[in-house]
Amino acid sequence: MGIKNQSTGPFLLGIDGGTEAVRAAVFTPEGELVGLARAAHPTQHPHPGWAEGNPNDWWNALVSCVRQVLTELEITGHDIAGISCACTSSTVVFCDNDGTPARPALLWMDIRSSTQAKQIAATAHPSLKYTGFGAVSAEWLPCKALWVHDNDLQTFANSPVVCEYTDWFGFKLTGTWTASINTAAIRGFYDRNEGGWPVSLFEQIGLDDLVEKLPSTVLDMGTPLGEGLCPEAAAELGLEAGTPVGVGGADAFVAQIGMNAIRPGSVALITGNSHLQILQSDTPSYGGGLFGAYTDAVMPGQYTVEGGQPSSGSVLRWVRDLISGSTMRSDAENQAIYHRLETEAARLPPGADGVHVLEHWQGSRTPHVDSESRGAIWGLTLAHGAPHLYRAVVEAVCFGTESIFEALRDSGHTIHEIVACGGALKSPLWIQTHADVSNHAIAIPKVGESGTLGSAILASVAAGIHPDVATGAAKMTSIERLVEPREGACDQYKPYMEQYRDSYYRLRELSRSGR
């Protein structure tokens, strides 16, 4: 997809490495989106709870969409002033020093390392404060590294580099191995205030040599990476060697920058296949039901607190495919199915006529940190149909988000604003339900491409166009509208919210005994 270019350079190239595709977007230094292209890549699910990808497929997709957007805009590499990227995390790559993958990458949604997560949690190491002093998410980098160590020791031993998707892209672009402080802090227990990587934790779980495999240089997002775009990457992408490349980060946290939700008390609600709720704070807080507070993970001198739901839009897609009986359809056909379900579900009352859903298709990230929890649908009768199931999933995701907002408030945080981006914005029912359940207005940015815009903001800092991330975000973002909660709607949802809370505890043991 392209957008007709009515601007002249310089431009900024924002890259978004997603679960199923890579997107490349071109922006002006004022934040105007002038071009966008997308290239899909395959994802494999060889076993329940597993999710893998080939990093070379990501790179081929990146080359394809960058060349496509340059061609459609009729611009050259000379017009691109800076580049940065946002990628899924924890998506862990094992590779040689030259970036050659040693095995399929373990994607963020891969939760095969549940046993290893329990082993790490059992250490009671001080670093576990970032996971709420309790359970450890199987998604995090050390858990996945330990799984490979336990189940594929030869690959682990022969892989001199273990890194995040974002850092692998950074190397491919520049030839320099560097870790983003964002991905290191949010998924690797890295804390600048505590000396960096938690060496003693790694030693305690038998990963004595993991630190040697992680990039030794850890930089803030937007910092210029190496000498810029290396000649090999420039030739493949159709860009100019030496173009500044800014250190990127995890997609949701880069999107937070692209929404300018970087002031304390501002919550970024990032929606898509998964949901994340991210809040900045001037002071650290650690407690149950949340991840963080991460030091300097987004803004230097601040602390980042995180909630998340690993299954949200992915469950709606599952419903769509289940109802239609196929996964092989065009985008237009998929959108037609969504539109029909949305229209019919919007006619139903809150509570979906008694259909209830627990949206833990890929476990629970927060507030329960329970990778073994599983999804459930209950309350069905012969009077119910597909629209009831669709609405019940939408409501369950919103209930899950509200439970995370409650955990934020219980930890002493005040929510001043909620800014949303991503797939839920395509659904009026979904975003309105978020506002209704939370009883809080939802701010919608003018540019919906928050991930690629956040990357472009980081690129602008690396290129010296804007002096820092806060300035770039202020100049390149704006709010288009507010979705206000409907009067009385929150009270209507409260009994269903209570049933949602209760369903996790009642179904928890069944989830385990039925496996």
pLDDT of 249-258, one tens digit each?
Answer: 999 999 999 9
Q: Facing residues of 16 across strands? A: 23, 86
DSSP 127: G
pLDDT tens for the chain, 515 residues: list them: 444 455 677 999 999 999 999 999 999 999 999 999 999 999 999 998 899 999 999 999 999 999 999 999 999 999 999 999 999 999 999 999 999 999 999 999 898 999 999 999 999 999 999 887 677 888 899 999 999 999 999 999 999 999 999 999 999 999 999 999 999 999 999 999 999 999 999 999 999 999 999 999 999 999 999 999 999 999 999 999 999 999 999 999 999 999 999 999 999 999 988 899 999 999 988 877 889 899 999 999 999 999 999 899 999 999 999 988 877 778 888 889 999 999 999 999 999 999 999 999 988 888 988 878 899 999 999 999 999 999 999 999 999 999 999 999 998 999 999 999 988 999 999 999 999 999 999 999 999 889 999 999 999 999 999 999 999 999 999 999 999 999 999 999 999 999 999 999 999 888 776 55
CA distance 35 to 126: 46
Q: Report the run of H or E that residue 87 belongs to, with start and end.
A: strand 80-87
What amino acid is encoded at 54 in this protein?
A: N
CA distance 283 to 281: 5
CA distance 244 to 223: 9
Which domains are seen in the chain, by residue range? 313-444+482-513 (3.30.420.40)
CA distance 463 to 101: 30
Q: Could you report the per-residue pLDDT of 48-90, keeping only the tens digit for each?
A: 889 999 999 999 999 999 999 999 999 999 999 999 999 999 9
CA distance 227 to 229: 7
pTM for the structure as a whole: 0.90
**Nearest alpha carbon to residue 469 among 140, 192, 193, 222:** 222
Helices (H), 207-304: 210-213, 231-237, 251-258
Q: Give the chain's radius of gyration (CA, Å).
A: 22
Whether residue 387 contacts residue 316, with contact meaning beta carbons closer than 8 Å, is answered with: no
Between strands 161-164 and 105-106, the pairing is unpaired
Give me the phi and psi of 52, to 5 degrees please.
-130, 160
Q: CA torsion, points 220, 222, 223, 225, in degrees to nearest 10? A: 110
Q: Could you report the per-residue pLDDT of 101-159, keeping only the tens digit for each?
A: 999 999 998 989 999 999 999 999 999 998 876 778 888 999 999 999 999 999 999 99
Burial of 382 (0-12, 13-18, 19+ CB in 10 A): exposed
Q: What angle do CA 216, 181, 141 make, to 5 degrees?
A: 75
pLDDT at 135: 77
Give me the phi and psi of 26, to 5 degrees please.
-110, 130
- Token readout for 481 is 């509208």
Contacts with 332 (C-beta within 8 Å, 6 or more apart), sequence order: none
**Is the Cα dihedral 474, 189, 187, 230 positive or negative?**
positive
**SS3 for 125-161, per residue?**
CHHHHHHCCCCCCCCCHHHHHHHHHHHCHHHHHCCCE
CB atoms within 10 A of CB 481: 11
